[in-house]
Structure 1
């Protein structure tokens, strides 16, 4: 029985780490914490069956932390994302400008002139005094953050179209933008 519990714990911990490390949104991260909870309970069981009190205490605390992660990502964060989405949808039906959640600027696909995917927005820089969006930082290529390149897309050449971040640039125009270093972005 202790072997079964330890294998369940091992598998759950590895799968949960993949879910949470991938940073694919609140729902996926929340599911990762549910799986982490299953893993910490299985580790606790392994500790109980093999008389390892340190393993039991560690995973009793980990279970509480994992349950907090479930609340944080499937409760609070999911509701915030739902609120932002509903506000954007409601604004489309209301007079005036449409709204777009600023939080979406840290993980939206940037599409080019012909609708092709150019990269993923990782951040946006705003003016402190006027609050205007100045530029986007867009990642392109790589796998899991390794080997990606970053480019600055001035907001004058970008915008939100049908709920997505878009630019007038095509693939060649986007690739001609200078590369940014991960830790050194322009101040103006």
Structure 2
């Protein structure tokens, strides 16, 4: 059971990261880019959990701690902060 959960975390994190990257790369506007960053946050949180639950994946867990911070900045910039007047 625990192995299935760990494997589910791995696959969710991978798929969510790919979907988020696609959304951000399409440059569909501020709202969609923000949604992409929210998905990136969920991917990072999942891969942090997976990385520290699996004995040989601490590198991915550590990398995603850094990516979580970067993604939270993206959420702030595209969802929380008002667009600067140009």
TM-score (norm 1): 0.41
Runs (5+) with no aligned partner, structure 2: none
Aligned residue pairs total 81
Runs (5+) with no aligned partner, structure 1: 85-102, 104-188
Give the match for residue 49 of structure 2. 45
- State whether structure 2 residue 83 is matched by structure 1 residue 80: yes
Give the match for residue 22 of structure 2. 18
Measure the CA separation in 1 of the matches of 2:19 and 2:60.
Answer: 20
Give the match for residue 142 of structure 1. none
Measure the CA separation in 1 of the matches of 2:65 and 2:83.
Answer: 29
**Structure 2 matches for 1:120-159, cutoff 5 A?**
none
| RMSD over aligned Cα atoms | 1.5
1:73 is displaced (CA, Å) by 0.9
- Structure with higher helix content: 2
**Structure 2 matches for 1:39-188, cutoff 5 A?**
39-51=43-55, 52-76=57-81, 79-80=82-83
Measure the CA separation in 2 of the matches of 1:54 and 1:13.
Answer: 17
SS in 2 for 1:71: helix
1:55 is displaced (CA, Å) by 1.2
Q: Which has the higher contact order (CA 8 A, sep 6+)?
A: 2
SS in 1 for 2:49: helix
- Give every structure 1 segment of 4 or more consecutive aligned residues whose post-TM-superposition deviation is greater than 3 Å: none
Measure the CA separation in 2 of the matches of 1:10 and 1:58.
Answer: 14
Give the match for residue 36 of structure 2. 32
Measure the CA separation in 2 of the matches of 1:4 and 1:47.
Answer: 12
Measure the CA separation in 2 of the matches of 1:80 and 1:66.
Answer: 18
1:53 is displaced (CA, Å) by 1.9
TM-score (norm 2): 0.85
SS in 1 for 2:71: helix
